Each structure stands twice: as C-alpha cells, then as structure tokens.
Amino acid sequence: MKDNNYTILPIKTAILSFGMSGKVFHAPFIHHHKCFELSGIVERTKNVSAEIYPNTKIYRSIDAVLNDDSIDLVVVNTPTYTHFDFAKRALEKGKHIVVEKAFTTTAAEAKILTELAKEKGLVLSVYQNRRWDSDFSTVKQIVDTQKIGSIISAEFHFDRYKEALSIKSHKETPNAGAGLLLDLGPHLIDQAVYLFGMPQAVMADIRTVRPNSLVDDDFTIVLYYEQLRVTLKSSLMVREPIPSYIIHGSKGSFIKTRADIQESALINSVIPYTPNWGQEPNEEMGYLHTQLNEEIIKEKIPTLQGNYGAFYDGIYESIINKKPCLVSGIDGWNVMKIIEAAQFSNNLKKVITINA
C-alpha cells in the first residue's frame, strides 16, 4: 500500500470474536483504515464475517490466532471474564493488544497485564471509544476552555430501558465480568477520569432492579475530589432519560444530551472515515448558561463531530511511531481501581479512599 510516495506496511490485525463488538465497533474501523489489515476473525462454527469481509481469514479457535506469527495486533473482545487470560496469552506470544472494556475483572489483573506489556515492549490499549463521542467531546471542550469557570459538580448518565434479560447468558449469569457496573460503568468512569483525573475517594450504590435479574443493573457512583463532586449514574430501567451531561461551574452551567450517532450508523452498516461521520443533528446541541466579562450568555453550542476512528489512528501511532497510547493500560487499571472501590463501598455502605 502506497501513500504520498512511501510504502505503508499495514498492521495485520485479528479480532477474537464477531458479535456486536467485533462486527460494529472494531471490524469497520480496521477494515477501512489504510494502515491496518483485517487479517483474521475468530468464528468457532459460523461464517458470518465472510459475507462482509470475504478476504479475511476465519479462525476456528483463539489458539490458532495466537499461534499465527503473521498477526501483529489482537483485539480481545470476548466476554469480560476471559479478557485477562486471552490478553495475557496474546502478550506472551508477542502480540500488541486492544482489550475491550471492562479491561479486566480486578485491579490486580489489570496491573499484571499493564506490567507485562511494558516488560515486553508491546502496545496494550483499552477500547474506551466513548472518549470520542460527539456529546462528550463537546463537554470536554466546554470544561477545558473554562467557559463555565472552575467545575463544582458534574453528573453523567448512561441510561437505557431494557427490562427483558439479554439472550447472551454471560451478561445475565452471575460471573466475575457480568453486570451493568462492568458493562457501562467503564465508559462513565473513564470519561470522568479523563476530564478530572483520579478521585480521592468513592461512594457507590449498586442495585438489581429488573424482574428476574441476577446481576446488577442500576448504579450510582460519587467520585470525591478536593472540591469537585462527580456523580455517575446508569440504569436499565429508565424509559425517559434526562440529559446525560449536567455540568455546573463557578460561572455557569452546561447541559447536553447523549446523542452521538456513531453506534446507530455502524449498526446500519454506514462506512466510517467519511466527511460527515459522527455529526449529530443540530437539534441535539448543548445548552450553555454562563457569564463572560459581566455579560450573561444563554446559547446553544454546536456539537463537535464524533470520531471513533481516532482510537485506531492512535493505535497505529503507538505501534509504528512509538507514541504513547491514547488509552493506556494504566488508564484501564485506574478504571478498575475505581470499580473495585465502588464494589467495596456498596458492600460496606461507606466511602472508600482510593490509593494512588
């Protein structure tokens, strides 16, 4: 493959499963990226991927991928409780890895993988694609430019209405990787830490509210900073969600809906990396109410474009040009520290201090 008169050797990449994660969030960005080659997909018995990617090899086992010396990068997107084992084995085989959220099931596992990747000089990144949601990118811009002053409180919501249990048994059967806290929790926690850094302490209430559910499906987490408080809420029993980002600062407030269109576009087989990719409808613009130079401002704020493709741009730069990962193993490890603290807080009914 040639670009600007020099040769780009694509990073040969394999995906360890072809469920929603593989089909929707990974394969399109790898396949349509000039610097990657979608070389393999694991399907144990089916050939679904061949209909979309006829030139991509189907592996019948994960071992077959790990033993293939031609594969440079492995995407570990199997059920969460398997992440540690498969990621560790991939690193031991000399593969760079992208691990889906939740990174692992414990902070101890996250520490082992992060240190192993460093020891072997391999890239390890956690797939926190929601950093590149259009809505969150706009929130970050408002916070970073201090348009509402210093932040006093922030509330993030990621709510859905799914009373019926998932047909995927690993999501609804009690196991180390099941439950909403490890499903949507990593998105909210990563966004909060990306904006504000690690908290000093955590308090959490984690519940099971759906009929016949055996796993947690509703949580509230409060992150404590020196002055700031950040509340993270998610539930599968919210039919009418409120705005997903409510930020209050010393000068004003910013309110934004969760309206990123990338997931729905990918489900409908829209090809990424196009000019209008990730552009929200204008009616979903956020609302800013603030004060600037003694003037009160009340206005709609245009939403930045979303771009999950930026994640794989970063992976290329990390593998080829040795640049720091946009989402590092340490980032994933920090998220797991907060998840464990939330679990302890819920069990003990007390605020838990985070150890740096």
Q: Which of 183, 35, 17 has its CA nearest to residue 27?
A: 17
Over residues 161-199, the pLDDT tens digits come to 999 999 988 899 999 999 999 999 999 999 999 999 999
Helix 107-120 to helix 329-348 angle (10° resolution) is 170
Structure tokens at 20: 């929603």
> Beta strands of the chain (E only): which ranges?
2-3, 6-7, 11-15, 36-42, 57-59, 73-76, 96-100, 124-127, 151-157, 201-207, 218-224, 229-235, 245-249, 253-256, 286-292, 295-301, 352-353
CATH number of residue 45's parent domain = 3.40.50.720
**165 and 99 housed in the same domain:** no
User: 284 and 257 in contact (C-beta within 8 Å)?
Assistant: yes
**232 and 103 housed in the same domain:** no
Distance set, CA 56 to CA 39, 118, 268, 312 (Å): 5, 30, 21, 19
**124 and 169 housed in the same domain:** no
| 337-352: average pLDDT | 98
**79 and 175 housed in the same domain:** no
CATH number of residue 150's parent domain = 3.30.360.10
The reply to whether 63 falls in a domain is yes
Over residues 40-93, the pLDDT tens digits come to 999 999 999 999 999 999 999 999 999 999 999 999 999 999 999 999 999 999
User: 290 and 252 in contact (C-beta within 8 Å)?
Assistant: yes
pLDDT score recorded for residue 168:
87
Q: In total, how many domains does the chain have?
A: 2
The reply to whether 161 falls in a domain is yes
**105 and 149 housed in the same domain:** no
Q: Which of 165, 114, 53, 141 has its CA nearest to residue 325?
A: 114
Confidence of residue 138 (pLDDT cuts 50, 70, 90): very high
Note down the domain range covering 320: 2-129+311-327
**22 and 95 housed in the same domain:** yes
Over residues 263-291, the pLDDT tens digits come to 999 999 999 999 999 999 999 999 999 99
Cis before 102? omega within 30: yes
**What's this model's pTM, rounded to 2 decimal places?**
0.96
Helix 83-92 to helix 107-120 angle (10° resolution) is 10
